[in-house]
Structure 1
């Protein structure tokens, strides 16, 4: 009987021993293997399943240790009859329930309150997203970045007798003192925030923190400002409070201080890298927002996401750390790549706010499990968080650079916003390209991208895809986008201006300077020397300069350039059209690639 219940999967992540053990437990609990039943000998079971006898012996022994089986001298293994005392539902009874037909939906429809959730909030990426060739998904990470060895070390430590006695006796609404201490002394001071333990509350993720704050601060008579488009989950949480959602406009420097903000009682901000638009709020705009809050008596809820993942210079200071930051409630969630199973977050606020939040959290009975708190405290205290963050940041910086290069090379005409922090960028599509249709077509090509609601834009994440796969994925995306672009776009044969031949190119370009903005929104300056060398300068969103050198030459009427590092160091050839001070580049197929301003070096 037992052999027929067990079908092993050699490709499964679980070992054969684990599979045998779980299948036997399932049979015992369902009643398929009755109490008192004699199990097949280990030799016979091994022959039936095609595994080593020792595998079955070890599985049986663990089942004995767990009291599912008992041994009888010179007789073998039997199902423990004490299992009957556990109130196990019989297999035949379960079958009768299963065969009773579908649940009466009308009955339950009459008993349940209506639930309204945005359709987009329920959309999920494929369950096997990691198996796709090009997973440009946001808020997900490559499992190889996960610091598994460090977590195993900490797990062993917290199960020592003295440690267990500390974390296992925490009160029902108490936070682990060691973790709160690490947050106060190690994490927050690096962000310029200095608080006492009584100003910190641990939560089960950022969503719980937002829910608690929404219940505390908002109601039908108040308004909360959100930059649109907003993170769907956060928007849904605040909407359920009954508060009015004020749509805050923004520019390249962050949220604008307009009428909607003036009429808001509080606002939710992501100054490092807004999700999904990847806008980084400038230092001056942060000061202005703080001045507004102080003048209006309003509250700022600051989500300091991805602070530790910065790829150029240093991250800007949180609003909470700035002068007058007492009106700011600070939220932080440990990155998913650091603790994918726990997703622990914390709130920093004045003590009266934390006391009320703690009372609200108690009513939910959803305190972060004590063992998770102590495990994370050990992880931080041991220095593993610092070393893992440094190592992961190096990997993400490589992918960040690779994505930027790929977008500039394959999609130079599109506007891309790429913050110095965060793990995703914002790609604006041509007007006639349907973002959702493009997303579906891309998935058929093994390319996972995310269409942003109510806009012709895509969000491209780079934390879950290897650096050496990024260009190939962007190449496929470029082919899909170019196939949808309007045919009325300017071409070489119809271009306005004067097409430059070899003689004109030599005259116009020697000793000139090209000024422009690349697809990443970075301003650049290229000096074209008469001897055929090039010097390139670009400046990104945090005013960090990048430089490169290269050479240019003529090949008939084609202008050819090759950088040392930029554009993968590949040779590229263009036809050039001059339209006043503007220079337009067309590829050899006659498609417009880019444009710049031509000036003389003074």
Structure 2
């Protein structure tokens, strides 16, 4: 008797060749939405990966990857010898009545007419990762060491008595006092003086990139982008219709010569010269100069993301590309997300003089203004010397935690992973010694109550060995070894 197919039929899974989103992401997103909307309820058994692969015309390895990712996210669970099921831990989905019914029915409805950006936004993810603050969560500063009392004093001083200046719409470029404080900080601590009029305040670094891309490039234009590189940023540029021109990354940073020769018509370059994320390397001076010359010769622009520049543990922070730009081709982007805390949502651009008016107007049309209260509080915080003091304390703290991480990591992870900890930033890489798939290892890491990101999530086209991105800045030095022993256990078990 022929073996019957087990598990539900999944007619809602539809693959669209016209969509740029990879097939595995299309399947993964549709399964996730089907679970959230109650099409697949808690405890439902899924077809075997082999059967799903045959039905969709994909490789079994692709479907295994989809199912593993959804297990990591908590939507699915494996039962020994029984198969893969929708997680029983999910809350009971309401019956299909009222608004829930509309949401469920929307899954099967034809898409409304969307703009080009709306269509492109469906093909990428805006997810910035797990929000659980478990040990080794990447990109997380030591929020518990933030001087909340000082910040509250600054806030009270700015808002006391309902001051009119803090309650209305703000300057389209950002509050002048904050721009003055940022200019002073850049001159003193980054050796990169500018006029406050060159600065435009944005709601975070990501908004700064958006503004630059919209002002300087049309859909279809090319942008040099490092591979691997930050996922949400590459997705942002793709959503805006830009063509990613991938540049390799080695010990000297972006391969400028290779990228510019392959893509001579690129309009923009996005680069993280102070500390590449996630590899942690810095862009060498010859390559900085080569990138500047390319921009000058081709009437192109460089978006410089000064990522983690504040936290360098061996010597002073490296000069920015903007500081050696003699032809006004660099748009410098900075933010306070790592230096203070991510939720502050204040970033800024330092612009060449000829772009100030365009960016100011465009920022006003898109953002109107960043919350004035927060701008004034930050200006007071910087002006009172608290920002510089906080950075100094955090550099010392992170240096101590980095040293503890490296010292304990070399012994606890011996034979399992090689620690790669750059001289700056908040993260380290653990290169897996065995030919392990880093998504599978991450699942094991989550199971033991820790956090990490797989390097493969940041890779666009260039294959690299498996590695885990680990954040050490949020972990106390005296807890580093116990957590690393738990990490070693998870890697060994994966």
TM-score (structure 2 length as normaliser): 0.71
* Structure 2 Cα separation of the partners of residues 332 and 447 of structure 1: 30
* Structure 2 Cα separation of the partners of residues 179 and 328 of structure 1: 21
TM-aligned CA distance change 1:336 to 1:196, over 3 Å = same
| Superposition pairs of residues 101-140 of structure 1, within 5 angstroms | 102-103=101-102, 104-105=105-106, 109-111=110-112, 113=114, 114=119, 116-117=121-122, 121-122=126-127, 124-125=129-130, 127=131, 129-130=132-133, 132=134, 135-140=135-140
Task: Indicate the residue corresponding to 1:358 in structure 2.
Answer: 360
Task: Indicate the residue corresponding to 2:429 in structure 1.
Answer: 426
* Structure 2 Cα separation of the partners of residues 408 and 176 of structure 1: 48
| Superposition pairs of residues 63-82 of structure 1, within 5 angstroms | none
Please tell me whether residue 311 in structure 1 is matched to residue 313 in structure 2: yes
TM-aligned CA distance change 1:441 to 1:325, over 3 Å = farther
Please tell me whether residue 477 in structure 1 is matched to residue 487 in structure 2: yes
Task: Indicate the residue corresponding to 2:84 in structure 1.
Answer: none
* Structure 1 Cα separation of the partners of residues 420 and 297 of structure 2: 32
Higher relative contact order (CA 8 A, sep 6+): 2
Gap regions ≥5 residues in structure 2: 1-95
TM-aligned CA distance change 1:155 to 1:479, over 3 Å = same
TM-aligned CA distance change 1:199 to 1:116, over 3 Å = closer
| Superposition pairs of residues 168-317 of structure 1, within 5 angstroms | 168-171=167-170, 173-262=172-261, 263=264, 264-317=266-319
* Structure 2 Cα separation of the partners of residues 123 and 152 of structure 1: 28
- The answer on whether the counterparts of 1:216 and 1:357 sit within 8 Å (CA) in structure 2 is yes
- How many Å apart are 1:362 and its aligned residue? 2.0
Secondary structure (helix, strand or coil) at the match of 2:193 reads coil
- How many Å apart are 1:183 and its aligned residue? 1.2
* Structure 1 Cα separation of the partners of residues 327 and 407 of structure 2: 38
Indicate the RMSD between aligned Cα atoms, in angstroms: 2.5
Task: Indicate the residue corresponding to 1:392 in structure 2.
Answer: 394
Please tell me whether residue 466 in structure 1 is matched to residue 471 in structure 2: no
Gap regions ≥5 residues in structure 1: 1-96, 485-602
* Structure 2 Cα separation of the partners of residues 475 and 106 of structure 1: 45
Q: Which moved more, 1:220-229 or 1:413-422?
A: 413-422
TM-aligned CA distance change 1:288 to 1:189, over 3 Å = farther
- How many Å apart are 1:443 and its aligned residue? 0.8
Secondary structure (helix, strand or coil) at the match of 1:224 reads strand
* Structure 2 Cα separation of the partners of residues 339 and 450 of structure 1: 20
* Structure 2 Cα separation of the partners of residues 119 and 100 of structure 1: 26
* Structure 1 Cα separation of the partners of residues 260 and 413 of structure 2: 35
- How many Å apart are 1:464 and its aligned residue? 1.9
Select which of 342, 345, 352 maps to 1:343.
345
* Structure 2 Cα separation of the partners of residues 101 and 482 of structure 1: 43
Task: After superposition, give the CA deviation of every residue in 1:505-530 in whole Å (9 maximum; x if it has no partner).
Answer: xxxxxxxxxxxxxxxxxxxxxxxxxx
- How many Å apart are 1:366 and its aligned residue? 4.5
Please tell me whether residue 445 in structure 1 is matched to residue 448 in structure 2: yes
- How many Å apart are 1:285 and its aligned residue? 3.0
TM-aligned CA distance change 1:406 to 1:261, over 3 Å = farther
* Structure 2 Cα separation of the partners of residues 144 and 415 of structure 1: 29
Secondary structure (helix, strand or coil) at the match of 1:140 reads coil
TM-aligned CA distance change 1:231 to 1:137, over 3 Å = same
Task: After superposition, give the CA deviation of every residue in 1:302-324 in whole Å (9 maximum; x if it has no partner).
Answer: 11122221111112111111152
- How many Å apart are 1:483 and its aligned residue? 4.9
- How many Å apart are 1:260 and its aligned residue? 2.3
| Superposition pairs of residues 359-378 of structure 1, within 5 angstroms | 359-378=361-380
- How many Å apart are 1:117 and its aligned residue? 4.8
* Structure 2 Cα separation of the partners of residues 377 and 392 of structure 1: 19
Displaced runs of 4 or more, over 6 A:
none
* Structure 2 Cα separation of the partners of residues 212 and 204 of structure 1: 11
TM-score (structure 1 length as normaliser): 0.59
Q: Which has the greater radius of gyration?
A: 1
Task: Indicate the residue corresponding to 2:143 in structure 1.
Answer: 143
Task: Indicate the residue corresponding to 2:157 in structure 1.
Answer: 157
